[in-house]
Amino acid sequence: MFQSIHVSVSYSVIKMNSAGPLDLSKKNTGEVSALLKMGNVYRAPFGGFIEAENVVGLPKVKLIDIKYLCTDTDAETIEYVIQKDHYVVGTYQDDK
């Protein structure tokens, strides 16, 4: 299962996991961008990954600007590359 991500912010790619940012960049706030129904973007802390069967009944959101999914907590082992102009489906719960 995936444990960390790389996110594109401006011209940088930052790393984070459910504990927060993994580097000391000023741009890395540990937040991901979610695309809302009206087209607005909402930023919230990245809360990690959950199993697909555990999302039944939870509100789904489109997470944008995620570039890589990693299998380690340090975001060094890239397992999956998100193609350009694609998004990741996530959920929003407990303000994460």
Q: Is residue 33 part of a domain?
A: yes
Per residue in 68-95, pLDDT tens?
A: 999 999 999 999 999 988 999 888 777 7
Cα–chain-centroid distance for residue 78? 14
Helix (H, G, I), strand (E, B) or coil at 54: helix
Give the span between the Cα atoms of 54 and 35, in whole angstroms. 21
Question: For residues 44 and 95, is the Cβ–Cβ distance under 8 A?
Answer: yes
Cα–chain-centroid distance for residue 59? 16
pLDDT score, position 15: 94
Q: Is residue 96 part of a domain?
A: no
Per residue in 16-29, pLDDT tens?
A: 999 989 988 887 88
Other C-beta atoms closer than 10 Å to the C-beta of 14 total 21
Give the span between the Cα atoms of 80 and 2, in whole angstroms. 9
Q: Is residue 57 part of a domain?
A: yes
Question: How many distinct structural domains can be found in the chain?
Answer: 1
The parent domain of residue 38 ranges over 4-91
Question: For residues 41 and 64, is the Cβ–Cβ distance under 8 A?
Answer: yes
Q: Is residue 46 part of a domain?
A: yes
